[in-house]
Structure 1
Amino acid sequence: MTDPRIERFRKLVERFPDRSPPRFSLARALHDAGQHEEAAGLYADAYRLQPDLMMAWLHAGECLLEIGRFDEAETVTQKALALAKSQGHESPQAEAIELLDEIEDLRGN
């Protein structure tokens, strides 16, 4: 069964192509549905439209890790960590550090 949020958010992205929230929401629904490739691209669209959208960077890193794009995952997760620190968000900082550790482990470093 397809998540009904996906189609709803696709329509919002079409209606508001220059806004990051619909893209982030669609990315999150796709991420939840295991569609990591498409979700990663939409998270990237969201953070390009709103560069301080720290959670888009962090979730993009998660998706990129899932599809084996470790270099990109590391780059965006480092950006998420920097934003989390500058914005004073402790929990996302911890998540980013854990994700970076996981990337390193999967690379075999």
Structure 2
Amino acid sequence: MADDPRIARFTALKAQFPQSEMPRWSLATAYEDAKRYADAIGELKELVALKPDYCVAFIHLGSCLIAEERYEDAIEALEEGRRLAIEQGHMAPKNEAELLIEQARDELA
């Protein structure tokens, strides 16, 4: 399957700017949109290693892990995203993380 133009463009930008979080974020969300969750997970893990206070990246990581049925890993990522969102005063991401945590826990039950 050929990559869509966004994936190709963001892959090139990531190679050009390897220490920048924006190409990684864009590439991860393009993978997520294409339902290429394993690829998105890899990019999001690299992104949170580069920028460990990026609460929304943790939440997207958790969402992709849920899509891959990796519920325990998802809960771990989502709990970190929730913690960061609270610390940073971001209530919408906090609420999203809580909903996704509940979803992942329901899948484990």
- TM-score past 0.5 threshold: yes
**Runs of 4+ in structure 1 over 6 Å off:** none
Answer yes or no: is the 8 Å Cα contact 1:20–1:45 preserved in 2: no
Matching residue of 2:19: 18
TM-score calculated relative to the size of structure 2: 0.94
Aligned to 2:104: 103
TM (norm. structure 1) is 0.94
- Indicate the SS of the match to 1:73: helix
Contact 1:77 1:100 in 2 (8 A): yes
How much has 1:2 moved relative to structure 2?
Answer: 4.5
Runs of 5+ unmatched residues, structure 1: none
Matched residues in 2 for 1:23 and 1:75: separation?
21
Which deviations, in whole Å up to 9, do the C-alpha atoms of 1:3-62 show, x marking residues without a partner?
A: 321110000111111221111110000001100011011011111101111111000000
Identity over aligned residues, as a percent? 36
CA RMSD of aligned residues (A): 1.1
User: Residues of 1 paired with 2:80 and 2:4: CA distance?
Assistant: 30
> CA contact under 8 A between 1:31 and 1:39: conserved in structure 2?
yes
Query: How many residues end up aligned between the 2 structures?
Result: 108
